[in-house]
Chains A and B, each alone.
Chain A
Amino acid sequence: MWWGGRGQSFNIAPQKEEPEMGSVQESRMPEPRSRQPSSCLASRCLPGEQILAWAPGVRKGLEPELSGTLICTNFRVTFQPCGWQQNEDTPLSSEYDFALVNIGRLEAVSGLSRVQLLRPGSLLKFIPEEIMIHGRDFRLLRVGFEAGGLEPQAFQVTMAIVQARAQSNPAQQYSGITLSKAGQASGSRKPPVPLMETAEDWETERKKQAARGWRVSTVNERFDVATSLPRYFWVPNRILDSEVRRAFGHFHQGRGPRLSWHHPGGSDLLRCGGFYTASDPNKEDIRAVESMLQAGHSDVVLVDTMDELPSLADVQLAHLRLRALCLPDSSVAEDKWLSALEGTRWLDYIRACLRKASDISVLVTSRVRSVILQERGDRDLNGLLSSLVQLLSAPEARTLFGFQSLVQREWVAAGHPFLTRLGGTGASEEAPVFLLFLDCVWQLLQQFPADFEFSEFFLLALHDSVRVPDTLTFLRNTPWERGKQSGQLNSYTQVYTPGYSQPPAGNSFNLQLSVWDWDLRYSNAQILQFQNPGYDPEHCPDSWLPRPQPSFMIPGPPSSVWLFSRGALTPLNQLCPWRDSPSLLAVSSRWLPRPAISSESLADQEWGLPSHWGACPLPPGLLLPGYLGPQIRFWRRCYLRGRPEVQTGLSAPTISGLQDELSHLQELLRKWTPRISPEVHSKKRDPHTILNPTEIVGILKGRAEGDLG
């Protein structure tokens, strides 16, 4: 295969975790420290961070070149431009920080031709003139070292990076940092986004969704049902906690059916793990399982999440290929780019996700029913699909706040194993499912630019945050580990995790920092850019008024049970595998190939959609994405950041410039005419000037000109 030859030069092998942290580091530590350039360097450190080595250098690759200092600490490599730190108020830099785990490849360059690839543990063979740090997040940092007596420092800093990478163990290091930093935070604070760690959060969210047939269950409060589940979740009103506990035992890793989202039209979207087939439930248990899945609806659709979606290994392989393709020195010829891109299959997987999410959105919207996403582990693709479905169907989820809450609920709280999936543990189950999700969201943003409150910049920020070692959001696998580490679970940990030592005093529940505390890494000016100026508030929430729900009657057996697989609904005899024919339970892979009628999208089947196409073709708030070959795009601003030729011009100034001008004008006008009434906006509309886009561009151009000075 085309990328095969590049395998050796691209360090992707999981790092061997060396248990002995000590010897090398300790012997090296004092030396560079004693030569620290100034105290201001140290002041930029995070608590618990130690500077291992530093050297003056010049950031290269972009105009203008910046001189500054390259610093290697025990958990990141950072470049600090001269005169940079004074006017910055964020402890971490979003641009020049590379967490050690984030370093995908490290190269030292000398002269024009000498390039050495530095793996963890390798020895530098020459004094480098330049080092290149390729991030796993597709960023690239090139730092050139000045000659003139400082070569030893250049050598030292490079070696320090090599060794620090070999020794880094994110899970251990970052806990300390987070704890002590949290201790510094002053007073009690409210997290910017509900972290879904308290029953109140769940109750508030439940009310917001008007899910009246549901309640917050506290059965997992001590993580004894499943450590990967959140402490609280939603279950049907009628089901007792004891029934929940029993029912969940019959699901893979105890992840039984929980409500993900309640559609204002009445449908419910549920997620659960695979049936635990070895168990032998009694009649009562089966009934509990069934009524939890049924959630009071007579129409039940079981969605086989894994079907037609890539496996974890597929996702990982595609991502590796994508990264290899996007390296700045990738040898793919320009005219072979497209097939190389196709060969990564990354876009194909995105297409599959969008297609499936779009189908499920239609299922949820078109009639009142219970739709259950079932994935064996319930921790990867279920989160992806359920998040996408909500983004497509619920305008609230498309706001900045709504999206962050969504990620917090469906990914973080739901126990997506971030640390493992993002390669933090070095285990073999690495698969950037979350990054796949972000790319899907980006596709939606491209297709519906006026429907999302957040911008591409926000997605990039989130993309880059997954490995930044400042908060626990993405650095733990389960809510249990996260809570344990942040000291939240003082009262419980002693009982359930005897080996765990009490965290330092002074950490109270509300001192937690999450990735949503953007001001840790981004300046206010950057955070402002998270807003999509093209967001059309007309499309924002409240267009869905909560509707009276069908009351939850005590249902008999559901009148129709379907399996949604291969783009089609197939009737099922029963919901659970245990009762009659146990063979039904292995739902994947045995089903018929997708019917030849695949051109008929589910939307058409459900609605005969085109007959409603017109001015208002879809129920308000529902987006149906395009997922044809030509419509799935390549996220250039993310994946090609490492290439110098595409680093500039990353965002067009036009729209934001226009926005600025608008507020400026309004400000002016407010100053001069305080009493002007809004009705003066008399807008004459001349139908003949309509549809003359050239004029628009002309005007735009004028504006852009003004902005560019």
Chain B
Amino acid sequence: MLGKGVVGGGGGTKAPKPSFVSYVRPEEIHTNEKEVTEKEVTLHLLPGEQLLCEASTVLKYVQEDSCQHGVYGRLVCTDFKIAFLGDDESALDNDETQFKNKVVGENDITLHCVDQIYGVFDEKKKTLFGQLKKYPEKLIIHCKDLRVFQFCLRYTKEEEVKRIVSGIIHHTQAPKLLKRLFLFSYATAAQNNTVTDPKNHTIMFDTLKDWCWELERTKGNMKYKAVSVNEGYKVCERLPAYFVVPTPLPEENVQRFQGHGIPIWCWSCHNGSALLKMSALPKEQDDGILQIQKSFLDGVYKTIHRPPYEIVKTEDLSSNFLSLQEIQTAYSKFKQLFLIDNSTEFWDTDIKWFSLLESSSWLDIIRRCLKKAIEITECMEAQNMNVLLLEENASDLCCLISSLVQLMMDPHCRTRIGFQSLIQKEWVMGGHCFLDRCNHLRQNDKEEVPVFLLFLDCVWQLVHQHPPAFEFTETYLTVLSDSLYIPIFSTFFFNSPHQKDTNMHQRQLSLPLTQSKSSPKRGFFREETDHLIKNLLGKRISKLINSSDELQDNFREFYDSWHSKPTDYHGLLLPHIEGPEIKVWAQRYLRWIPEAQILGGSRVATMSKLLEMIEEVQSLQEKIDERHHSQQAPQAEAPCLLRNSARLSSLFPFALLQRHSSKPVLPTSGWKALGDEDDLAKREDEFVDLGDV
């Protein structure tokens, strides 16, 4: 993997120095240097990955400023990713390869990570889709992880442009069949050799045993039982093969409405109260059927509501809480703040940063989610009530709220393994439609709602406010959010466990795949909300809840009293939700914006200091242990990363992936008057002098 000659900008000294009043467009300057021969740069392919099309002599712009220059290279499109093979890969030294992503390189975009593609025609930017009549001179790719790539195709052969542009558009934008997911080619080609440590692994909740273990851990086994009634997805394809229901609930009830209207256990609190979720019954107009539904629900209800021993409170998440539509709108506004084609644009919005941020209302949505989770926590913790979450399919906001509640109440969920098990339990087994919500198949843009990202952002708020309470850091969350778009893990690429099992299974048997019917349409865009269930359950509930004012008072009191006490990081954990406390997850959203980099600063600096201290504490501790036991204590080496590397920037570990190619010295009008070569040389000498000191 040898580098080829630097083309384009070059070192600040060699490049021509256009002033900002220059009338020669930078592109024109660079054409002179186009002659440089290109050497082949190896394209790394994953097992099962195939090259689909490619184009050479593509100029990748360096995003950071309005001065356009960049590096030449090949743009390729495989069935897994779009990759740019420039020359600067060879420049990575050891330090940096250490932090490199093993699967996705800095210039790689997995097909699923592509958000929007724009073409520039005569300085005008247009969204690209479908068949093109005319091919753009510049391609702008916005990624779902908020990177922005710009490729200039002006020097590329015309057929190559056609091939690569239509290839990229087709493979990223066109609706696709499930069986075409790269996941399957990869699974077939790659041998799965991962050996998991049996003691210390994520619980997958795909066996009865896992559920029993969870019941035992939370001491929920007195009142709840794991059932295998849905083994082989006999009852419904929406639910996992195994799940937990209240002990008194007859199993035949589960079959009655294909698992709808059944309280499914999520988690039990130490005081015995439980968090449950229920998907709504189908809507019916017929009075007779309504009557049947009502008596069914009454029966079910008695299993969890047995005053004075058990009291249940219902939270209807589909009618008086967030709508998925709101989340979608907010996020699409919010992400625009970070998808920046050039930095001038960024500076323009900078002045109005806070009001723009606020008008996206993404942070407010986060606040509302956290608030709802606190309310439920209060019911369970302080009032000892069961809480039943209700949603049409119990697979979006149910997952989000129940995971948040568990994260706040159960310290186990704040370990890495516990957190992964939680995601497995509530999201993967809970039937969150990752495939549709991430729009991996590009079949319906309207279904694309970043519910899981919203969850991660809520978790980030908690991690940010109470870092010592969590085993993992924000970097873990950022990487986790990236893995949503890397189709070599099956976790986030199915709508339900059933879909995963059938597809992965069939694949192994090499049976011809028919496109599995995508899960029933979630009706969240329907105008009409589900009043029926609310009415049926709501009347009973109204006896329990005297007024919403009182609810607010309880909430306030609970919230205030928790925050006025010292925090126990191993107990109940509540986030602050006041206006100033909800913040932007800077690491995820700002990491690709060079202007946002603080050289040698930010938390990374504290972190490296901490690590040094931890290391010292450990080595001292070992010595003390040695003296006491006069035997070798088990080697517990502290991670000693960051300090070899001189000073890291605030964008660590992502900044290292972000290679800054050089940029010419841009004189202002003032310098222009000055700018003879002598002076520039002198200036550089001075710099070197200072640097050497």
Interface residues of A (CB under 8 A from B): 62-63, 264-265, 332-342, 347-348, 365-368, 447-451, 534, 536, 543-545, 547, 560, 562, 568-571, 595-600, 604-613, 615-620, 623-626, 628-631, 634, 636, 640, 643-649, 652, 654-655, 658-659, 661-662, 665-666, 668-669, 672-673, 676, 680-681, 683-687, 689-701, 703-705, 708
Contacts and interface: CB of A to CB of B under 8 A. Distances in A.
B367 interface: yes
B537 interface: no
Nearest to A690: B641
A599 B65 contact: yes
Contacts of A571: 670, 673-674
A339 B601 CA distance: 27
B563 A568 contact: no
Contact of A450 (B609, B621, B689): B609
A615 B564 contact: no
A334 B367 contact: yes
B627 A640 contact: no
Given A348-B351, A648-B565, A689-B639, A332 B579 contact: yes
B525 to A, nearest CB: 24
For the complex of A and B, list the 4 residue pairs with the smallest distance between their C-beta atoms, beginning with the closest.
Answer: A337-B579, A629-B353, A608-B12, A569-B670
Contacts of A634: 580
A276 to B, nearest CB: 27
Contacts of B660: 610, 613
Contact of A669 (B367, B470, B620, B693): B620
A644 B560 CA distance: 8
A605 B668 contact: yes
Contacts of A447: 598, 601-602, 650
Interface stretch (B76-84, B130-138, B611-619): B611-619
A683 B601 contact: no
Nearest to A449: B606
Contacts of B363: 335, 338
A608 B665 contact: yes
B590 interface: yes
Contacts of A604: 65, 663, 665-666
Given A447-B602, A645-B578, A658-B614, A697 B471 contact: yes
A569 B671 CA distance: 7
B354 interface: yes
Contacts of B650: 447, 626
Given A365-B690, A610-B660, 12 more contacts: A62-B564, A334-B364, A543-B693, A568-B669, A569-B671, A599-B595, A617-B600, A662-B616, A662-B620, A668-B620, A681-B619, A708-B568
A696 B610 contact: yes
Nearest to B627: A672
B580 A619 contact: no
Interface centre among A334, A605, A681 (most CB of B within 10 A): A334
Contact of B687 (A544, A562, A596, A607): A607
B617 A661 contact: yes
Contacts of B470: 697, 701
12 contacts: A62-B564, A265-B689, A334-B367, A342-B354, A365-B690, A562-B670, A571-B670, A600-B65, A600-B66, A625-B601, A645-B564, A700-B614
A607 B580 contact: no
B639 A691 contact: yes
Contacts of B351: 348, 629
Contact of A692 (B354, B577, B639): B639
Interface stretch (B156-164, B246-254, B401-409, B472-480): B472-480
Given A630-B596, A658-B614, A695-B639, A683 B619 contact: yes
Contacts of B53: none
A485 to B, nearest CB: 40
B554 interface: no
A536 B643 CA distance: 11
Contacts of B602: 447-449
A335 B66 contact: no
B345 to A, nearest CB: 9
Nearest to B347: A599
A613 B646 CA distance: 12
B255 interface: no
A570 B670 contact: yes
A705 B569 contact: yes
Interface in B656-672: 660-671
Counting chain A CB atoms within 10 Å of each CB, the highest count among B11, B564, B668 belongs to B668
Interface of B: 11-12, 20, 64-67, 95, 98-99, 342-344, 346-347, 349-355, 357-359, 361, 363-364, 367, 415-416, 467-473, 475-476, 559-561, 563-570, 576-581, 584, 586, 590, 594-603, 605-611, 613-621, 623-624, 627, 635, 637-641, 645-647, 650, 653, 660-671, 673-674, 682-683, 686-687, 689-691, 693
Nearest to B620: A665
Contacts of A629: 349-351, 353-354
Nearest to A341: B354
Contacts of A341: 354, 579-580
B610 A449 contact: no
Given A596-B344, A605-B667, A693 B596 contact: no
B609 A597 contact: no
B623 A669 contact: yes
A703 B682 CA distance: 53
B693 A544 contact: yes
A605 B662 CA distance: 13
B206 to A, nearest CB: 24
B12 A338 contact: no
Contacts of A681: 616, 619
B275 to A, nearest CB: 25
Contact of A536 (B609, B620, B621): B609
Contacts of A334: 364, 367, 577-579
B599 A624 contact: yes
B599 A534 contact: no
A450 B601 CA distance: 8
B669 A655 contact: no
A595 B639 contact: no
B599 A547 contact: no
B640 A690 contact: yes
B472 A693 contact: yes
Contacts of B416: 694
Contacts of A697: 467-468, 470-473
A561 to B, nearest CB: 11
B475 A693 contact: yes
Interface centre among A448, A570, A609, A636 (most CB of B within 10 A): A448
Nearest to B605: A450
B358 A699 contact: no
A338 B579 CA distance: 7
A45 B363 CA distance: 49
Contact of A630 (B99, B586, B600, B691): B586
A687 B355 CA distance: 44
A336 B590 CA distance: 23
Given A610-B663, A645-B576, A665 B609 contact: no
A338 B635 CA distance: 49
A461 to B, nearest CB: 21
**Residue among A341, A608, A649, A661 with most chain B CB within 10 A:** A608
B619 A696 contact: no
Contacts of A618: 599-600
A127 to B, nearest CB: 28
B580 A337 contact: yes
Given A570-B669, A571-B670, A700-B610, A63 B564 contact: yes
**A337, A545, A646, A652 — most chain B CB neighbours (10 Å):** A337
B468 A700 contact: yes
B367 A338 contact: no
A658 B613 contact: yes
Contacts of A340: 579
A178 to B, nearest CB: 38
A611 B668 contact: no
A347 to B, nearest CB: 8
Contacts of B597: 626
